[in-house]
């Protein structure tokens, strides 16, 4: 396993990040605790140290299991989690980017993870309500309190990220060092604005759905389609264009004698900039 710097920071992370959205079966699909443990242990054994979760993943189960799996080795890993999405439907402040949501979500995540701090705290999505200054100041406060080491932002327009980091720089606050976006061979929209911005601001890019929600693994193009999948018939991911791309990936994989998923990840790792799938 090779390592890269996380954006404009001195933090070293593995060139692959372990996403744990499927750790847990609360959503009707996902991995059991035993299977999740096997995945985590193999990742760690191969030198992986970058782990990604979120407070909403499988309604908190992902964070709980990740915390257990890290155990006494917690400080060897770079642990990231997120806040923003709805956690309490009956509470008007149970979601959003505002300070109250951030502080409460972080405290709850720390309890589930069984740790005193997270290495990377992500804004999961932009709510288009909270002032940018409030978000950046609140993130800076939890960094200064020692509960967060670095800040990242996910699924947010380029102009907002650019403005946020400009404000942080001018005021001496903690800037974003990483950007999380959907990016794969079947979803390349971010190449228009977000990736050029990330290169200009020296942000690490951690793609979500790097395998196109499973389309680039070969399971939808090699034989019968799986019965248990989060992709339903009619999904745009199963359209003519994505499946044609997937078949091209399969052909490259067959020629090299490797899994289709390996080809899809290798393509991402070859992109310009600091892309960490």
Write out the DSSP string of 97-145: SSHHHHHHHHHHHHHHHT-S-EEEEEE-S--SSS-HHHHHHHHHHHHHT
Q: What is the pLDDT of residues 246-276, one digit of tens each?
A: 999 999 999 999 999 999 999 999 999 999 9
Q: What is the pLDDT of residue 233?
A: 62
Q: What pLDDT digit, counting tens, does each position of 153-203 carry?
A: 999 999 999 999 999 999 999 999 999 999 999 999 999 999 999 999 999
Query: 170 by DSSP, 3-state: which?
Result: helix
Domain spans in the chain, listed from the N-terminal domain onward: 3-174
- pLDDT band for 225, please (50, 70, 90 cuts): low
Of residues 213, 208, 203, the one with CA closest to residue 52 = 208
183 is catalytic: no
Can you give the pTM of this predicted structure?
A: 0.94
Catalytic, out of 57, 83, 121, 150: 57
74 close to 115: Cβ distance less than 8 angstroms = yes
List, for residues 118-131, the tens digit of each pLDDT value.
999 999 999 999 99
Segment 86-105, tens digit of pLDDT = 988 999 999 999 999 999 99
pLDDT category, 236, cuts 50, 70, 90?
confident
- What superfamily in CATH does domain 3-174 come from? NADP-dependent oxidoreductase domain (3.20.20.100)
Residue 63's SS3 state is: helix
């Amino acid at each position: 396993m090779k390592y890269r710097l996380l954006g404009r920071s001195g933090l070293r992370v593995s060139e692959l990040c372990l996403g744990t959205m499927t750790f847990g079966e609360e959503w009707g699909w996902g991995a059991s605790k035993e299977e999740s443990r096997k995945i985590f242990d193999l990742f760690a054994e191969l030198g992986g140290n970058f782990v990604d979760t979120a407070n909403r993943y499988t309604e908190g189960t992902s964070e709980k299991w990740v915390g257990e799996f890290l155990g006494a080795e917690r400080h060897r890993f770079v642990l990231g989690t997120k806040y923003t999405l709805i956690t309490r439907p009956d509470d008007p402040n149970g979601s959003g980017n505002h300070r109250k949501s951030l502080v409460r979500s972080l405290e709850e995540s720390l309890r589930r993870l069984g740790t005193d701090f997270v290495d990377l705290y992500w804004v999961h999505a932009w709510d288009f309500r909270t002032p940018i200054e409030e978000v950046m100041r609140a993130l800076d406060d939890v960094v200064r309190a020692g509960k967060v080491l670095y800040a990242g932002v996910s699924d947010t327009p380029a102009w907002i990220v650019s403005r946020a980091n400009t404000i942080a720089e001018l005021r001496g606050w903690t800037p974003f060092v990483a950007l999380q976006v959907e990016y794969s061979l079947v979803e390349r929209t971010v190449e228009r604005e977000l990736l050029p911005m990330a290169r200009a601001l020296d942000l690490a890019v951690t793609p979500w759905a790097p395998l196109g929600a499973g389309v680039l693994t070969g399971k939808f193009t090699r034989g019968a389609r799986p019965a248990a999948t989060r992709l339903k018939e009619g999904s745009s991911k199963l359209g003519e264009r994505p499946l044609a791309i997937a078949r091209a990936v399969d052909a490259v994989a067959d020629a090299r004698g490797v899994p289709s998923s390996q080809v899809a990840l290798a393509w991402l790792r070859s992109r310009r900039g600091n892309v960490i799938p």
